[in-house]
Chains A and B, each alone.
Chain A
Amino acid sequence: MTEELAQHKSRFSIITPVFNPSREAFEECVKSVLTQTYANWQWCLVDDHSSHGWVQRRLSDLQALDPRIRVHFREVNGGIVAASNDALSLAYGEFVALLDHDDALHPEALEKVHEVLLESDDIDYVYTDEDKVGPDGMFYDRFNKPKWSPERFLAQNYCSHLSVIRKRLVDEVGRFRDGFDGSQDYDLFLRITEKARKIAHIPEVLYHWRAASGSTAHAQSEKPYAYAAAVRAVNAALERREISATVSMTEPWPYQRVLRSLAYEPKISIIIPTCGTYKTIFGVETCLVINSVESILTRSAYKNFDVLVVIDDSTPPGVWDDLRAIADTRLQLLRYDKPFNFASKCNLGAVMSTGEYLLMLNDDTEITDERWLHTLAGYLEEQDVAMVGPMLLLEDGRIQSAGHANNPSPHNFRTGVSANLPGEFGVLSIARECSGITGACALIRKSVYKEVGGMSPMFPRAFNDVDLGFKILQAGYRIIWTPHTRVYHFETASRPKGVEQEEVELLLERWQSKFNADEYCRLE
């Protein structure tokens, strides 16, 4: 590729609707564009009939100052959608970069995007990390974003700034739309990402979002109409994709909860390995497996499931009898007479099951949400989603696991944190892609479980779920964690405590490069 062609390919049009910005912030914005290290850009500014007199004078000056700057003055105020579309009409670049009138680009923003675009001709959309800039000029709230996560994107517009989109695609999807003011960019991104051939993420802060009074960067409650528009945008996206779901806000947090409706109830085989352990739960000495099975059978609204309990030989005979006593035809007992191996017990349950989906469940769990299976199975309506897990709670109601994270090494994310907090950038209050979920409660497509060889018996005690997650990701599927259903996990009663050194070594041999390189969870 010639240098000339390469330059032509990556010419950017920066799109900025302007309406009565703070003068100081606007000058920062101007400075950030004029000092870009990559020079092959065009800046399209549209004044949306600002009432501050200096705005028009300054924009005219800018147009005279640099031939790359094009300005249009609207005769009436039309709102952000109209102004943004007018700015798009001025754009001749191959890609458009969206910049708000009081925000600032990192000096190397366009250069870094240009470099990424040169890696592949198929990239249609690029987004980067961002932070906020306060009135004192200090940067804060750095958002280390995940790699492209479509489920998370339905819950929040995490891509937001900086977004650079192929202009042809923006025109193809119909540019910004009326009726989505405040979330017009989110609506556009949702339509863009449905058509984009490749989406790239640059894990560097290349955009500084001004936290001005009245902006959502300052406080999420500043623009309530924007959140209503976000729900409309997601509803519209689901309709286009022909996904039957209900969308609601995760009050009090400003994110969307998408719960899919099931076209039918696929059969779920719940596999519970047990050795009949007793533990004091909520102050009462309890046989864990009995408690778990009882909670499933009595509290699940889902109809099409069976429960397969894989029982060690060492299990007290009374437990077998008690299980038979509470059981109905949905329960099967499967004897396991080999030395302890948690993975093998799960695999045995899997081969003996008849469900389309498998739900791996530890015996030290308790179900409280009657819609838990509906919620979990909903995510598997997406064909590239292979595994999904709920928020797991400790006995005291704090989080036991919010999925797995691999930085610096695989662990349960946010153990011990309050389940009522949203987490950084909503991470605990939205359904999202992750690198793995704990095997204590994981719904998995049986075909995928077989495809990846199930749980590895080479991890008899620990890390079998971590290994399974990596195998699933490697096979090209997504794994989802959701806070929209919660399951108690009383922990460490389903298997002997401790980790064998061999298991650690094998995990490192198989997956060391994934350690400290979690692309879905970069918060740690």
Chain B
Amino acid sequence: MSLDPRAHGISLPSTPSERKIRDLSPSVEAELRLQLMQLRDHAIGTTAQVGELRARLQEKEVELQEKEVELQEKEVELEKKNARISRLRKNLDQQEVRLRASLTWRIGNFFMLPIRILRRLLRGS
């Protein structure tokens, strides 16, 4: 399609000598061409926006995956720590049992008995 405005009914001077300068006003067809251009821009712009959103979505997905991996690692770490705590607690309990069963503990306990009785009486009064 010709882009010459004269081809679309826009009045122009017939010869340059009639008028040195041409004042144009947009025809209906020119307006339609403008709208078409605008629609193209809109389509390209929207495609670009979708592309950007996709890229951001992908970024977020990668971020999420990384966080999930991080979380899993933390959970494994936590489990390990909990298991260690249980082991330590068990060891402690066993140590306590052994301690209470030891001769040193029982002798100490025997000698400390009057003091404990005295303390209980004082607390009662």
Contacts and interface: CB of A to CB of B under 8 A. Distances in A.
Interface of A: 308, 323-324, 327-329, 331-335, 344, 347-348, 350-354, 446, 450-458, 467, 470-471, 474, 509-513
A509 B25 contact: no
Contact of B41 (A329, A351, A353, A457): A457
A333 B5 contact: no
Contacts of A509: 49, 52
Question: Which are the 9 A-B pairs with shortest beta-carbon distances?
Answer: A453-B41, A453-B40, A329-B16, A351-B33, A510-B48, A327-B21, A454-B37, A456-B41, A332-B22
Contacts of B25: 334-335
Given A329-B20, A347-B37, A510 B26 contact: no
B52 A510 contact: yes
Nearest to B54: A513
B71 interface: no
Given A333-B23, A335-B25, A352 B41 contact: no
Contacts of A323: 21
Contacts of A467: 45
B109 interface: no
Contacts of B10: 352
Contacts of A352: 5, 10, 24, 26, 30
A494 B44 CA distance: 27
Nearest to B38: A457
Given A452-B44, A457-B38, A474-B44, A334 B26 contact: yes
Nearest to A456: B41
Contacts of B22: 329, 331-333
A334 B48 CA distance: 32
A512 B33 contact: no
B40 A452 contact: yes
B34 A347 contact: yes
A457 to B, nearest CB: 6
Contacts, number: 97
B113 interface: no
Given A354-B5, A513-B55, A332 B24 contact: yes
Contacts of B16: 329
Contacts of B4: 354
Nearest to A510: B48
Contacts of B81: none
B3 interface: yes
Interface in B73-88: none
A474 B34 contact: no
B3 A452 contact: no
B49 A450 contact: no
A343 to B, nearest CB: 9
Given A347-B37, A513-B52, A513-B55, A456 B45 contact: yes
Contacts of A470: 48
A511 B56 CA distance: 11
> Which residue, A350, A352, A354, A457, has most C-beta atoms of chain B within 10 A?
A352
A328 B20 contact: yes
> Which residue, B10, B21, B43, B56, has most C-beta atoms of chain A within 10 A?
B21
